[in-house]
Chain A
Amino acid sequence: MAPEAILVFILIYVLVVLLSATEMVPMSVAALVGALLTGWFGLQYGVFTYGEAIGFIDIRLIGLLIGVMIVVEVADRGGLFRLGALYSIKMSKGNPRILFITLCIMAAAVSMFLSDSTAILLIAAAAITITKLLDYDPVPFFLSATIMVNLGGTSTLIGSVSNMIIGVQAGISFNDFIGYLAVAEIILWALTILVLYYIFRSRLRKKRTPPTYNPWESIQNKKLFWRSTIILFLLIFLFVFSDSMGVEPEAVALGCAILALAVSEIDPAEIFKRMDWETIFFLTGFLFVVGGLEKTGLLGTLSTQLFQLAGGSLFIATLLVLWSSGLASTIVSNMAVALTFTPIVQGFIGLNKIPMWSALALGTNLGGAATPFSGSVVIMALGAMKKEGINLNFSEFTKVGFITTFIQLAFATVYVIVRFGIGG
C-alpha cells in the first residue's frame, strides 16, 4: 500500500481525536466527518471496497447499545433510579459522612445501568437538593459522585459503552465479564471512596437534621414503575443466562427494548428523543475510521511492534495495554480508546487475551475522570455545578481526579497480575 494512503488514514484518525478533544464540533460530528473522509480516501486509494466498508459498522454492538438505552430510559421514566437515590439519602439521617459514602455508592450503582451522562444528571440533581437543604459544602459530594459515576459499571458488559465494545468484539459474555472483573470493581469502589473520604474529611464535619419525606411519593406512575422495573430485571436475568440459552446479548437487549416500548404506554417518540444519539453516531463513525485504519495494516503493525516491545511476555503486554489505554483515556474519549485497542489486542497472536481484555476494560473505564477533559461525565458535572453557582476550578478537579485515577490504575495493575497469575 502507498505510504501516502497510510499517512492520510493516520491524519483522519488524528483529526477525529483532535476535533473530539477540543470540542470544536460535537464528537458525533467529528466521528462522522472522519467516516466520510475514510470512505472517500479508502475508495479512492482502493484500500477497501464499498461492501467491505459497510462491514466496518458492527451492527451487533449498535444493537446492544440501542437496546440497553431503550430499556434503561423506560426504567428511568418509571422512577426506579430516583427512588433508589432518595432512599439512600434518607438512610444517611443527615450525617454528612454517611451521606457522602451513600451518595458515592449510589452514584456508582446507578452508573452500572444508566449511561454515565444520565447517571451524573440524576446524582447531580440529588446532590444539589440535599446539600442545599442541609447547607453542606457541595464540592466534595459533586466531585466524588462524578468520579464514582465514572467507576461504576467497570465489571459489567452493559456498565459502559467501552465495555460493550470490548465485550462484543472480543466475544466475552455477560457472566464472563463479571467473573473477570467483579472483585476488582468491588475493591475499587471501597478504595476510591476511602481515598475521596480522606481527601475531603475536613469538609464533612457539621451534622444537620434532614427533612422527613417519603421516597415513594416521587413515583408518579406506579404501573409504569413496576412494568419498567420488571423489564430491567428481566434484561439482567436474560443477560446472565444468555450463554446457556445460546442467545446473543444484543438479541436480549433488543428483545427487552421492544417489550419495554410495547408495555410502557409511553409515546416511543419521547423515548427515542431522549436517547443518547450522540454516542450512537460517534460509535458508528469511529467504527468506520478504525475499520479503515485497520485495512491499511497499520493497527496490525502496531500490534506486532507492541508484541515485540513486550518481548512476547503476557505480563508486559497486559501492563502495556492497561496503562496505555488508561492514560490515553485521560485525554481521549474512552470509546475511541476501546475501539482503537480492540484490533491491537486481537493482533497479539499466541498470547492468552483474557488478561489483556480485562486490562483494556479497566484502563478505559478508570482513565475517564482524571481531568475535566477526560470525558463528557466530568464536563457535565462541572456544568451542573456552575449552573448552581458552585465554583470549582479545573486544577482542584484535576488534583483529585489524578490522585484517584493513579491509585485505581495502580490497584488494577496488582489485580490483573494476581487474578490472572501473570506475574511469573
Chain B
Amino acid sequence: MAVIFGVISIVVPPLVGDMTVPGINVKGGFLLWVCFMLVTVIFVIRALADALSLADVLTDIFLRRLGAKEDHSLKRVGRDAIYIILTILLASAFIPFLASVREIGNMLAGAASLVALGLIIVLIYDIGRILYRTVEAKAEVLADRLVKLATRNRKKKG
C-alpha cells in the first residue's frame, strides 16, 4: 500500500497540480498533498501501534526467558534495572578482552556493544511500559473517585 501511494504521489500531482477543484476552490495538487499526508499519518500511527504490540509480545517472551515471572509489577521494574546494570557491567568487563582478539577484535567488540545496547533498549522499553501502565491505572482510580465525588455532590444539591 505504501508503495502504491508512493507511485500515486509521484505520478498524479503533475497531472492535476494546476487544476482548481470546483466547489471548494482549492488547487488539485494541494488537495492531493493534504490527502497524501493524512493517509501517511494514519499509516504511521497504525504501523507504530502494531509495532508496539509486537514489541510488547517480543519483550515479554524475551524477559520471561530471562526469568521475569511478575506481570508488570513494580518488582519487575527493579528486576529490569538489575539486568540493565548487569549488562553494562558485563559489557564493560568483556569488551576490552574481545577487542584484544587479533584481526577481528574491533568487529567483535562492536558487535558486543550493539547487542548490549539492544538489550538495554528492550529493558528500558519494558520499564517505561510498566510505569506508564501503573500511572494509567492510578489515574483511572483517581478519575473514578472524582466522578463518584461529583455525582454525590450533585445528588446532595439536587
Q: How far is the CB of A35 from chain B (nearest CB, A)?
A: 13
> B72 an interface residue at 8 Å Cβ cutoff?
no
Give Cα A18–Cα B84 distance, bound, in whole angstroms: 12
For chain B, the bracket of interface size reads 10 to 19
Interface mask (A217-248 → B, CB under 8 Å = 1, otherwise 0): 00000000000000000000000000000000
Contact B88 A11 (CB under 8 A): yes
How would residues 81 to 115 of chain B score, 1 for a CB under 8 Å from any chain A CB and 0 otherwise?
11001101100110010000000000000000000
A contact residues around B79 at 8 Å (CB): 22, 24
A37–B89 alpha-carbon span in the complex (Å):
8
Once bound together, how far apart are the Cα atoms of A8 and B75, in whole Å?
A: 23
Cβ distance A305 to chain B, nearest Cβ, rounded Å: 24
Question: What is the CA–CA distance of A163 and B132 in the complex, to the nearest angstrom?
Answer: 42
Least distance between A44 CB and chain B CB atoms (Å): 8
B71-82 near A? 1/0 per residue, CB < 8 Å? 000010011011
Taking the closest CB of chain A, its distance from the CB of B88, in whole angstroms, is 6
B78 and A18 form a contact (CB under 8 A): yes
| A315 interface contact, C-beta 8 A | no
Q: Quick check: B93 and A14 within 8 Å, CB to CB? A: no
The chain A residue with its CB closest to the CB of B76 is: A22
Q: Are B85 and A41 in contact (CB under 8 A)?
A: no
Asked if B82 and A8 make an inter-chain contact with CB atoms under 8 angstroms apart, the answer reads no
Secondary structure of the B contact surface, majority rule: helix
Within the complex, the shortest CB–CB distance from B79 to chain A, in Å, comes to 6
B82 touches A18 (CB 8 A): yes
Tell me the bound Cα distance from A40 to B81 in angstroms: 21
Which chain B residue lies CB-closest to A15? B85
Residues of A within 8 Å of B93, CB to CB, are 37, 40-41, 44
Q: Which chain A residues numbered 6 to 23 have a C-beta less than 8 Å away from chain B? A: 8, 11-12, 14-15, 18-19, 21-22
Asked whether, in the complex, the Cβ of A22 is within 8 Å of the Cβ of B75, the reply is yes
Whether the Cβ atoms of A22 and B78 lie closer than 8 Å is: yes
Residue pair B89, A11 in contact (C-beta under 8 Å): yes
- When distances are taken between beta carbons in the complex, the residues of chain B under 8 Å from A41 are 89, 92-93
Task: Kindly identify which residue among B85, B89, B92, B96 contacts A18, using a CB–CB cutoff of 8 Å.
Answer: B85
Given A8-B92, A41-B92 in contact, is the A14-B85 Cβ separation under 8 Å?
yes
A383 nearest CB across to chain B (Å): 17
Q: Which residues of A contact B89 (CB under 8 A)?
A: 8, 11-12, 15, 37, 41
Least Cβ–Cβ distance between B22 and chain A, in angstroms: 67
* Complex Cα–Cα for A8 and B96 (A): 15
Contact B88 A21 (CB under 8 A): no
Q: Are B82 and A15 touching (Cβ within 8 A)?
A: yes
Cα(A95)–Cα(B75), bound, Å: 43
Provide the residues of chain A in CB contact with B75, threshold 8 Å: 22
Q: Report B-chain residues with C-beta under 8 Å of the C-beta of A40.
A: 93
Q: Which residues of B contact A19 (CB under 8 A)?
A: 82
Residue of B nearest to A21 (CB): B78
Closest to A19 in B: B82
Provided the pairs A40-B93, A41-B93 are in contact, do residues A24 and B82 lie with their beta carbons within 8 angstroms? yes
Most buried by A among B75, B81, B85, B89: B85
Cα(A85)–Cα(B129), bound, Å: 51
Docked Cα-Cα span, A8 to B88, in Å, equals 9
A380 to B89, CA, bound (A): 33
CA distance A15 to B90 in the complex (A): 12
- Cβ contacts A32-53/B at 8 Å (1 or 0 each): 0000010011001000000000
Which residue of A has the minimal Cβ distance to B81? A18
Interface centre among B79, B81, B82 (most CB of A within 10 A): B82
- Among residues of A, the one whose C-beta sits closest to the C-beta of B68 is A24
Question: Which chain B residues border A22 with CB–CB below 8 Å?
Answer: 75, 78-79, 82
Question: Shortest CB–CB separation between residue A7 and chain B, in angstroms?
Answer: 9
Q: Once the chains are docked, how many angstroms separate the CA of A4 from the CA of B95? A: 14
Q: Which B residue sits closest to A13, measured CB to CB?
A: B85
Interface-central residue, A14, A18, A40, by most chain B CB under 10 Å: A18
| 18 cross-chain CB contacts under 8 A | A4-B92, A8-B89, A8-B92, A11-B85, A11-B88, A11-B89, A15-B85, A15-B86, A18-B78, A18-B81, A18-B85, A19-B82, A21-B78, A24-B79, A37-B89, A40-B93, A41-B92, A44-B93
Identify 5 new A-B residue pairs, CB closer than 8 A, beyond the known A8-B89, A11-B88, A41-B93. Answer: A14-B85, A15-B85, A15-B86, A18-B82, A44-B93
